[in-house]
Structures are given as structure tokens and as C-alpha cells.
């Protein structure tokens, strides 16, 4: 919105918000300091006027009505004409509909793409009104009922009946009956369906003191989906327990289970974890799409010499290939992709997992059951007697499992597994701490992969170049010369390019692509256990020295690989720094 500064200044004085003398002083200060900021924004930042006051002044000068939409009770059928992601990312809320006209409140009435999107979606004439950030924020809270719009007034109609049937001393038989009641079934089914359609990886159902909050993790970030009455908590949890074949009357101990549904021809598994908390049982469900396989190493983000090192390791008939990283960093997906690559009629692949996340044809997959003593270590002991060529151990958690995995790698098996460390080099001292002797490690370790997941740019992007200050800041964290060399070696940039000429990318939020991100991809560091690395391991060198040597042999660190992908336009620098610093 363009408003001449002189007109804005004049009207602010005329309205009595600040005195003319004070405003003259502000203008002089801004002129001397050469700050690129408008008078209105400066006054808001200094607390001299409120943002609402500024927006009212701007609305008057533009000839556009001002509306405090946050104080209005907006009908759900009107609010939901604009999807929540569009409303949140473009700060636009529909609040009134009359005939063929729809009134919308906006922070920026010049956001023509948002207006055009709503116009095409509704077929209505759009009347834009100006509002404040606080007003928009309060209006967006009403979107917590967005799921409610997906299944009409179901919760409103059925909450009383659900609540009336629940009490603190409900019997096991009553719980089972309530869990099968139509309202509860429909509420849970809709929560699951909505999560799948949103592309969520996890569903969190969290009891608070007076509410039940439902949140989805989408592209690695948790987002509120809706708030339900606390009285529905017991019935919803009971329904999930029935689906996952868990004990209905057990509320004091954690429980884990699993179930499947089919949505539009796609089979989806849910891994269920229920944990007692202060205000009731919290439920977290991991969503596992059974048709989610078919990845390639390239599609996961591997490239260049690192990719070659992994392929070379998979051609070996013995040894240990490790993936490392925190929970949710894509380690299992990498292992499944490697198994898919190795899965031929000539080999016998056996796994021991907790849980079995994806089912693979011609792979013998076994689920550990610690409650009956069937642990990773016990499973691994049995697997080596099953004449396997390739063994996948879901996770090395203790010294016994680590020792057995190394011994299996020594005795004619290719072993794949995961480990919780922050870096590839950190895997070596971690295994040593578990009791594995260093001379056994150098005989078995082939390659170590460390990884994180970053959000991918989607749709329209904006190019920009790093400023000198930005470049200096980045150089403190990353060896940019090494990254530039790899970019040139892989023909991502021209041979005469410098960081001053290389483009980076920012997401452009549009009605079609929401935040500008969609999906995730890995950033990796691939440590090839070379002869020089083996010498360092034998000598008991710390992980810093191992990493330094690996870098001298061409290994990109995760942050360096992230910058590489940012130059490609796959992600952004901000996203890489967010993930690596977590």
C-alpha cells in the first residue's frame, strides 16, 4: 500500500495522535540516520501510537473501511471460504457475506494474488477492508474450528452425549461400548483422514487442564489443528486403544500399539504411543504410508562423491553401514532405500526392528518384543542362524547389540543399522563407549551417514544474492570455498562464478503453495572409512580429528551440504540453519 509520507504525517498530526513538534523531530532523526523506515512504522515501534491507530489512518487516506475483525464472531461457513493456510500466510480473513459479495479483512489490500484466489474459489465479488495484526491474530484463532467445518456440526451435536456417557469410573465394558459409538468413531476417523490429507507425519492428542488439543506435525513442524472439549478425551482415547488393540482399563502405564486404515486405495499404518500425563493420557500417532517406498538415494538428496561412497559400500558382501541422527531425521527411510537397492532374488535379507515401519516384499522382517525378553540382541542372535546375506538392525541401543552387529559384519554379513549421534564422526566414539574395540571397528565399518531433514521450496521463489555481511556471517559457520568447489565439480554453478554472483532463493507465499515449502529432503554428511580414518580410530582420536580428516578427503558436513542444496534452489539458508542448530 503506497501512501505519501507527507499526507500520512499531516493526518497523524490532525488526528491528535502525536504533536507536530514531536513528529518534526522524528522526521529530522530519520533523515540524519538515513533509516529506511516509514514514519508510521517508527511511531508504532516506539510505542507512540498503536498499530490499530496507524491502520485506521492508512484506511482513511486510502478510502478503504477499517474493520476490527478480531472482535467479531464469524460464522463458520463464511470463515471457511478461505482455507486456514491461505488466511494465515496472507493475513486475510473472510468475515461477512451478503448476496454475491464477500467482505474480507486484510493487512495488505494490495495482495492481489490472495484476492484473486478467493474470487476464483468463491465466484463472489470481493470487498477488501483494512485491519490490524492483532485483529487478524484473534480472528485466526477461530480457525481452530477448521476441522469442525470438515464434518459439519458433529462435535457440537455429539459432545453432550459423549460427555454424558463418560465418568471417572467407567467400566472396561462401558469403555468398549463408548469407543464403538458412532459419534466417537466419526470424530476419530475424521481426525485421521484430515491428518493424512494434510500430509502430516504425526498426530498429537494432548489433554490440558480444560481442553483437548489436537496438533499435526507437517514437514517437521507442529501446528495446532483444533481444540476439543476436555470431556471427549476419554472416549477418543478409548477409540484409539480399540483400534490399536490396547488395554482399555490401563491408564497408569504407557502403551504402544499399531493399526491400519485404507483411504482412497492407499493403505496407511498408525504407530500409537499412549503416555499418562498430569491431565490424562496423551496420544501420539506416527503416520506410515505403506506405499511410501520406491525412493532412490538421489531422491533422498544424496549426490556426488558421497553417493558414490554409499554405492561402493553396498557392493561389499560384509561390513557395517550406519545412519545416524536424531529421531525423525529420516534414518529409517534411508535404510529402507538401501535395502530396496540390495533386494534381489540372489540374497536373503532379514531385519530386526522396533517397530516394523514399512513392509517390504521378499524381506524377512521381525518385530522386537522387549516385554517378553525378545530384544534387538536376542533377535540378532537368532537372525545369524537364519542364513542371511544382509541384516538390518533397526537401532543399536546398547553394547550387547553393538557387539553382535560388529561380529555379524565380521562373519560374512552386510549389516545396516542406525545410531543416535549428532554427526557421522561421532558414531565412532559412541560405539567405543558401548564397548566395541577399535580394532574390530576398523575391520567392519564401511561408511557412516549422518543426516537431517529440511523443508523443500515449493512453487514460486524469489532470487537474491548474499550481502557482504551475510557472506561474512556464513563464512564463520561454513567453509564456503569447499562448497563452491563441489558446486563447480558437479556443474551446479559456472566455473567462473563466485559467491557474489551466485543466486539463493526465498519462498514466496501464494494461495496455491501456502508457506512456500512442501515436503522435505535430507542434508547429509557421508564419512567413508578410509585407511587414514582407520588409523585415527585405532589411535583413539576424538571425533573432531576424524571429521577434520574426512573433510580433507572430500566429505561435506551437513551444513555444507545444506548450503549446496540452497544454491540448487531446493531449500533456503534459513531452513538449513534452523535444522542444523536444533
Q: CATH number of the domain at 119, please.
A: 3.30.300.160
Same domain, 342 and 414: yes
Looking at 113, 145, 177, the residue that finishes a domain is 145
Same domain, 392 and 308: yes
pLDDT of residue 108: 87
CATH of the domain at 568: 3.40.50.300
Same domain, 97 and 13: no
The per-residue pLDDT string of the chain (582 residues; one tens digit each, 9 = 90 and over) reads 567 777 777 878 777 788 888 878 877 777 777 666 777 777 877 777 888 888 888 888 888 898 888 777 888 778 888 877 788 888 899 999 998 999 999 988 888 888 888 888 888 999 999 998 888 888 887 775 555 455 445 555 555 555 555 555 566 677 788 788 888 888 898 889 888 877 889 999 999 999 899 999 988 889 888 888 888 898 999 999 999 999 998 889 999 988 988 876 678 889 999 999 999 999 999 998 775 556 789 989 999 999 999 999 999 999 999 999 998 899 999 999 999 999 999 999 999 998 787 888 899 999 998 888 898 999 999 999 999 999 999 999 999 999 999 999 999 999 999 999 999 999 999 999 999 999 999 999 999 999 999 999 987 889 999 988 889 989 989 999 999 999 999 999 999 999 999 999 999 876 656 678 888 999 999 999 999 999 999 999 999 999 999 999 999 999 999 999 999 999 999 999 999 976
Evaluate whether 269 touches 258 at the Cβ level (below 8 Å).
Answer: yes
Three-state SS for 375-412 is CHHHHHHHHCCCCCCEEEECCCCCHHHHHHHHHHHHCC
Q: DSSP letters of 208-250? A: -SSEEEEEEEETTEEEEEEEEEGGGHHHHHHHHHHHTT--TT-
Question: Quick check: is 502 in a domain?
Answer: yes
Domain count within the chain: 4
**Structural domain of residue 79, as residue ranges?**
69-145
Q: DSSP letters of 524-566? A: EEEEE--HHHHHHHHTT--HHHHHHHHHHTTPPPHHHHHHHHH
| pTM of the predicted model as reported, rounded to 2 decimal places | 0.75
Quote the cell numbers at residue 187: 470424530
Same domain, 233 and 162: yes
Residue 141: how many other CB atoms lie within 10 Å:
11
**Bond before 355 cis per omega within 30 degrees:** yes
Quote the cell numbers at residue 80: 471457511
CA 109 – CA 401 distance, rounded (Å):
61
Residue found under cell 494465515:
88
Question: Quick check: is 54 in a domain?
Answer: yes
Of 535, 549, 524, 83, whose CA–CA distance to 337 is shortest? 524
Residue found under cell 499399531:
258
Looking at 289, 318, 343, the residue that finishes a domain is 289
Q: DSSP letters of 14-26? A: HTTSS-HHHHHHH
Question: Quick check: is 282 in a domain?
Answer: yes
CA 241 – CA 337 distance, rounded (Å):
32
Same domain, 426 and 512: yes
With left for phi above 0 and alpha for psi between -120 and 50, is residue 209 left, alpha or beta? alpha
Same domain, 383 and 411: yes
Q: What is the strand order of the sheet 211-218 is part of?
A: 221-229, 211-218, 200-207, 280-289, 266-277, 255-263
Same domain, 264 and 279: yes
Note the pLDDT tens digit of each residue in 150-187: 544 555 555 555 555 555 556 667 778 878 888 888 88
Burial class from Cβ neighbours inside 10 Å (0-12, 13-18, 19+) for residue 253 reads exposed
Note the pLDDT tens digit of each residue in 374-422: 989 999 999 999 999 999 999 999 999 999 999 999 999 999 999 999 9
Same domain, 104 and 246: no
pLDDT of residue 265: 64
Same domain, 58 and 75: no
Looking at 62, 79, 94, the residue that finishes a domain is 62
**Which stretches of 19-147 are assigned E, i.e. beta strand?**
92-98, 101-106, 125-130
pLDDT of residue 292: 53
Question: Quick check: is 299 in a domain?
Answer: no
Question: Quick check: is 297 in a domain?
Answer: no
CA 482 – CA 552 distance, rounded (Å):
10
Same domain, 374 and 521: yes
Question: Quick check: is 294 in a domain?
Answer: no
Same domain, 525 and 568: yes
Same domain, 134 and 185: no
pLDDT of residue 152: 44
pLDDT of residue 149: 54
Question: Quick check: is 296 in a domain?
Answer: no
Of 219, 240, 220, whose CA–CA distance to 283 is shortest? 240
CATH of the domain at 173: 3.30.450.90
> CA angle 88-566-112, nearest 5°?
35
Question: Quick check: is 450 in a domain?
Answer: yes
* Neighbouring residues of 460: CB distance < 8 A, sequence distance ≥ 6: 508, 510, 513, 516
Amino acid at each position: 500500500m503506497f501512501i505519501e509520507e507527507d499526507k500520512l504525517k499531516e493526518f497523524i498530526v490532525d488526528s491528535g495522535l502525536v504533536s507536530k513538534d514531536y513528529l518534526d523531530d522524528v522526521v529530522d532523526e530519520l533523515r540524519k540516520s538515513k533509516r529506511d523506515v516509514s514514519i508510521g512504522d517508527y511511531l508504532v515501534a516506539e510505542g507512540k501510537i498503536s498499530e490499530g491507530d496507524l491502520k485506521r489512518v492508512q484506511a482513511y487516506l486510502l478510502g478503504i473501511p477499517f474493520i476490527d475483525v478480531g472482535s467479531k464472531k464469524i460464522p463458520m461457513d463464511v470463515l471457511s471460504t478461505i482455507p486456514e493456510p491461505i488466511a494465515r500466510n496472507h493475513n486475510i480473513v473472510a468475515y461477512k457475506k451478503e448476496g454475491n459479495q464477500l467482505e474480507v479483512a486484510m493487512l495488505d489490500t494490495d495482495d492481489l494474488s490472495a484476492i484473486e484466489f478467493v474470487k476464483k474459489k468463491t465466484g463472489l465479488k470481493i470487498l477488501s477492508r483494512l485491519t490490524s495484526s492483532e485483529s487478524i491474530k484473534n480472528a485466526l484463532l477461530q480457525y481452530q474450528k477448521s476441522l469442525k467445518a470438515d464434518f459439519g456440526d458433529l462435535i457440537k451435536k455429539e459432545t453432550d452425549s459423549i460427555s454424558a456417557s463418560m465418568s471417572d469410573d467407567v467400566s472396561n465394558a462401558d469403555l468398549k461400548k463408548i469407543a464403538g459409538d458412532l459419534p466417537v468413531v466419526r470424530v476419530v476417523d475424521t481426525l485421521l483422514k484430515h491428518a493424512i490429507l494434510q500430509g502430516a507425519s504425526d498426530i498429537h492428542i494432548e489433554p490440558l487442564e480444560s481442553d483437548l488439543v489436537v496438533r499435526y506435525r507437517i514437514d517437521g513442524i507442529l501446528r495446532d489443528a483444533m481444540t476439543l472439549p476436555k470431556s471427549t478425551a476419554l472416549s477418543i482415547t478409548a477409540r484409539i486403544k480399540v483400534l490399536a488393540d490396547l488395554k482399555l482399563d490401563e491408564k497408569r502405564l504407557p502403551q504402544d500399539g499399531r493399526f491400519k486404515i485404507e483411504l482412497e486405495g492407499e493403505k496407511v499404518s498408525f504407530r500409537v504411543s499412549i503416555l499418562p500425563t498430569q491431565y490424562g493420557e496423551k496420544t501420539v500417532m506416527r503416520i506410515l504410508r505403506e506405499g511410501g517406498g520406491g525412493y532412490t538415494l538421489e531422491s533422498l538428496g544424496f549426490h556426488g562423491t558421497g553417493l558414490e561412497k554409499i554405492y561402493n559400500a553396498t557392493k561389499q558382501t560384509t561390513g557395517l553401514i550406519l545412519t545416524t541422527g536424531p529421531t525423525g531425521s529420516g534414518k529409517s527411510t534411508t535404510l529402507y532405500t538401501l535395502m530396496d537397492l540390495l533386494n534381489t532374488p540372489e540374497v536373503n535379507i532379514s531385519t530386526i526392528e522396533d517397530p516394523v515401519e514399512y513392509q517390504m516384499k521378499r524381506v524377512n522382517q521381525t518385530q522386537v518384543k522387549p516385554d517378553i525378553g525378545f530384544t534387538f540382541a536376542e533377535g540378532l542372535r537368532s537372525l545369524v542362524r537364519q542364513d542371511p546375506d544382509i541384516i538390518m538392525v533397526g537401532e543399536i541401543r546398547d553394547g550387547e547389540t553393538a557387539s553382535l552387529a560388529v561380529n555379524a559384519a565380521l562373519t560374512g554379513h552386510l549389516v545396516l543399522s542406525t545410531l543416535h549421534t549428532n554427526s557421522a564422526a561421532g558414531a565412532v566414539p559412541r560405539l567405543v563407549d558401548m564397548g566395541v574395540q577399535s580394532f574390530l571397528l576398523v575391520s567392519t565399518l564401511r561408511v557412516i551417514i549422518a543426516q537431517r531433514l529440511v523443508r523443500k521450496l515449493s512453487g514460486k521463489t524469489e532470487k537474491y544474492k548474499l550481502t557482504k555481511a551475510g557472506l561474512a556471517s556464513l563464512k564463520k559457520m561454513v567453509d564456503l570455498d569447499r562448497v563452491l568447489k563441489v558446486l563447480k565439480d558437479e556443474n551446479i554453478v559456472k566455473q567462473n562464478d563466485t559467491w557474489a554472483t551466485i543466486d539463493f532463493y526465498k519462498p514466496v507465499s501464494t494461495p496455491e503453495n501456502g508457506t512456500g515449502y512442501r515436503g522435505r529432503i535430507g542434508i547429509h554428511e557421508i564419512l567413508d572409512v578410509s585407511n587414514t580414518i582407520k588409523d585415527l580410530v585405532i589411535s583413539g582420536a576424538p571425533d573432531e580429528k576424524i571429521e577434520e580428516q574426512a573433510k580433507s578427503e572430500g566429505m561435506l558436513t551437513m551444513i555444507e551440504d545444506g548450503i549446496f542444496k540452497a544454491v540448487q534452489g531446493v531449500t533456503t539458508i534459513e531452513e538449513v540453519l534452523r535444522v542444523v542448530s536444533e
